[in-house]
Amino acid sequence: MSEKTNEERRDFLKTAGLTGAALMAGLYALGDVNHAEAAPDNRDLASAGYSPGELQDFVKMLERSGELVTVSRQVNAKHEIGGYLWRYEQAGKAVLFKDVRGSSMPVVGGLYQNWGRIGLSLNAHGRFGQTQMYERFLAAMSKPIAPKEVDRAPVKQVVQKGDRVDLSVLPVPTLFLGDAGPYITAGIGICKNPQNGAYNIGVYRMQLVGINKILVWAFPGSDLNAIYKAYEKMGAEMDFAVAIGVDPALFATAVSKVPSDVDEYTVAGSVKGEAIKVVRGETVDLMIPAGAEIVIEGKIDPRVRTVDGPFADHGGIYKGGPSPALRATALLHRKDAMFHVVLAGDSLEHCTASEILACFWGRNILDHLQSRFKNVKDVHLSWHGGTKKWAMISLSGKGSTGEARDIIGEAFNCTTNRYSMLPVSSFLRTAVVVDDDVDIYDPRDVVWAVGTRLNHTVVLDEDKPKGYELRIGLDASRPFGADPEKYKRTRTMSVTL
């Protein structure tokens, strides 16, 4: 057998093996994920006594609708809360822990496990997913609503300042067995962009390392990372606040990728449909959410870094990195404060909530591809199925035999920077091209397309420094010029139950 034949055979086996690995490791995991779902219409929400507002309003609505489980027995914040959240997530339930050892505050988690729940929290109706969330943000950015300052606020019912600050009263959980310690996972970091004065809000992992000290991680490419660098260059401390347990509209906006020159309080107000109520901080020059359950105020010296972690991050692997530290100067909370937690790791809630951010980056990729290929119809960027993401690309037809492969290559090489994206190749593992009769927001449909129409696999490149990451393109669309009837899907009549 010639060396050329051997090489071709090795390439074929490599490609076939990668395809099988992708199907087993990625699409299988995607198959059980909730995709865009129908949320109850406004009349149902009104009859349930819910309108977008404070966190406790949403929790009570979930309890009335049977989507929340209450754990009354005492639980340990170290590992036990994480274990319960993981188990109940499999049943699609949010969890309220009434009695947490060492704290008088209850803990609630599992609120945003699927897109139907996110839509519900925002008073949406009908089908709700990444597309609807992105459209809502676009509308909000075009018609922002300024926050409303108030003199009195529920979050200031209990105030500790200076030497009295003791963060150990908070039931901050250690969620996973390998976590280095307790982490705030649903805290909204609040600061000002020193270059334009716009408020920046975002969700970041925050490790509690002392009674008045928190490490605040900002991933490369985030707005907070850029703000850190700006203050570091100025040689100045920055005012920072952490709000825990906020209005769902504020939480969704914090997770999103709203451009850094846009004041995110104004976007959150428009997403909600009314101004976000804010109050002046006690020890920082910041406006803080008046309706939050808990707020930690403090100062950050961005010139000093301490390595946090390990922390169970996306994909169910542990991470850590150099993080500036927040020195707490005040702790504010309601008398009946509820501590909000998001189960991290590869939980449904962590991934689904992160897809709020992905709706911006997915649209960035879509715009880039549509500027080059007239047949590209839609793109869905999925956060599920591993640390690297999946891009599902819908085509209305093929213009040539090699067009799908060209689209895959262009997706991985996307260099536009509309939403301050990291290079696509740094977070995208697999791109799947399908026909437009396949619902790219339904992982079961994508699995079906790969199982019945896969006709080409592209191995794009190897990440040699890491040694194990390969990027794969799957063309699961009908061959160019093929008879559509040969690939027609079986269907039943649509009925209403």
Q: Whats the size of the chain, residue-wise?
A: 497
Over the stretch 329-341, which tens digit does the pLDDT of each residue have?
Answer: 999 999 999 999 9
Distance CA 407, CA 435 (A): 13
Higher confidence at residue 159 or residue 471?
A: 159
Distance CA 203, CA 255 (A): 6
Over the stretch 425-465, which tens digit does the pLDDT of each residue have?
Answer: 667 888 999 999 999 988 889 989 998 999 888 886 655 55
Q: Which DSSP string do the residues of 84-146 spell out, in sequence order? A: HHHHHHTTT-EEEES-BTT-SS-EEE-TTSSHHHHHHHTT--EEESHHHHHHHHHHHHHS---
Between the alpha carbon of residue 382 and those of residues 224, 324, 396, the distances in Å are 23, 30, 21
Contact 148, 287 (CB under 8 A): no
Distance CA 296, CA 233 (A): 25
The verdict on residue 150 lying in a domain is: no
Predicted local confidence at residue 325, as pLDDT: 95
- Domain CATH code at residue 474: 3.40.1670.10
| pLDDT at 23 exceeding the cut of 60 | no
Percent share of the chain, pLDDT over 70? 84
The verdict on residue 395 lying in a domain is: yes
The verdict on residue 114 lying in a domain is: no
Domain that holds residue 479: 3-34+353-485
Structurally, how many domains does the chain consist of?
A: 1
Q: How confident is the model at residue 477 (pLDDT cuts 50, 70, 90)?
A: very high
**Half-sphere exposure of 56 toward its Cβ, with a 13 Å CA cutoff?**
13
Predicted local confidence at residue 147, as pLDDT: 96
Q: How confident is the model at residue 38 (pLDDT cuts 50, 70, 90)?
A: very low
| pLDDT at 8 exceeding the cut of 90 | no
Q: What mean pLDDT do residues 80-84 have? A: 97
Which of 219, 208, 222, 181 is CA-nearest to residue 312?
181
The verdict on residue 457 lying in a domain is: yes
| pLDDT at 48 exceeding the cut of 60 | no
Taking the model in full, what pTM does it have? 0.87
The verdict on residue 475 lying in a domain is: yes
Helix (H) and strand (E) counts in the chain: 13, 27
Q: What mean pLDDT do residues 251-263 have? A: 89
Contact 358, 389 (CB under 8 A): yes
The verdict on residue 51 lying in a domain is: no
The verdict on residue 277 lying in a domain is: no
DSSP H or E stretch at residue 55: helix 55-64
Whether the CA torsion 138, 139, 143, 149 is positive or negative: it is negative
The verdict on residue 40 lying in a domain is: no
